[in-house]
Amino acid sequence: MAEHELYFASEKQLRIYKTRKIITQVLLYGFLTIVALFILMPFWYMLITSFKSQDAYQAEEDAKTLVLYLNSNNFSLENFKEVLGVTSSSGKSANFGTFYLNTIIVAIASTAFTVVTSVLAAFAFARVNFKGKDLIFTILLATMMIPGEMMMITNYQTTMMLNWANTFAALILVHGVSVFYIFYLRQTFQQIPNELFLAAKVDGYGHFRYLWTCMIPIAMPTIVTITILSLMGAWNAYIWPTLVASGTNPVLESIGIKNHSMLLVSNGLMAQFTSEFKDNVPARITGSLFATVPLFVFFLIFRKYIMRGVSRSGIKG
């Protein structure tokens, strides 16, 4: 009799446990769904509005309604033609091709420079012994406490002194060193057993050979993460490009390439928001879509590398 009662008690506890687990899962996924909707709603609104004509958008504004779907009455491709310069109510081309070209050049070059400096500096602080290493690294970390905006004045003065205004050098070299990326990669390098470094030295490996053949392959997820984040930062940069690259490139003009605007996607969009698209909200949203979609697709493709790098940097040993 006791065993029979014990069996039913265990069965009852199992049902209670399963019920609680189901309720917990439902509440959790319900909460995550609501959060996802809040995050995705602005992107959906951007996408829908970009396919609406200016008249349809204005009619919705006058009626104070929010239409989150497309139909035959409000669907139009005129915003894409306007942004791409196929048709323009102002008579001026949107010049998006130049904006994209400048941004791609700056993003790739600055990212390559950042990765090289981060790898070399992180390796030096993680494995090379030299006098004052800890003090120098502490000073570098202390600079992370200084807001980046405070450094813009001195960077701007240096750029003007070197006559780098409206050049790719001003956009690339200033952001070629990142203390955060050096610290981030150093943490990964320090997780690699030091015995591997000592064994490599016994085998006759120099610092650069050991770095290239051993440490970089092991730390590749973190390096890929740094590459992706650096590319995203260069693509989204706005304040610094606005300060030093709002005109035409004098270097290209000296070799015969005239009127090459140095605006990037971010400040180029803002310049057109206050000129060609000043009174055309759907065209402005379409321009924002053009600037956002490539970065969003890039992130979706490489997001697993970001998560792998973050998880690896959080594991000790």
Is the C-alpha dihedral spanning 15, 16, 18, 22 positive or negative? positive
Q: Which residues contact 281 (CB under 8 A, 6 or more apart)?
A: 49, 54, 57
Mean pLDDT of the chain: 81
Residue 301 pairs in a beta bridge with: none
Question: In the chain, what is the straight-line distance between the N-terminal and C-terminal CA atoms, in Å?
Answer: 54
pLDDT at 55 over 50: yes
Encode pLDDT of 233-287 as tens digits.
888 888 888 888 888 888 777 777 777 788 888 887 777 767 666 777 788 888 8
- The answer to whether 167 and 102 have CB atoms below 8 angstroms apart is no
Closest-CA residue to 261 (of 276, 270, 250, 277): 250
Other beta carbons within 10 angstroms of residue 63's beta carbon come to 9
pLDDT at 186 over 50: yes
Question: Confidence band (pLDDT; 50, 70, 90) for 85?
Answer: low
pLDDT at 7 over 60: no
Nearest-angstrom CA–CA distance, 227 and 114: 8
Nearest-angstrom CA–CA distance, 168 and 84: 24
Encode pLDDT of 187-216 as tens digits.
888 888 888 878 877 777 888 888 888 888
Closest-CA residue to 224 (of 142, 111, 305): 305
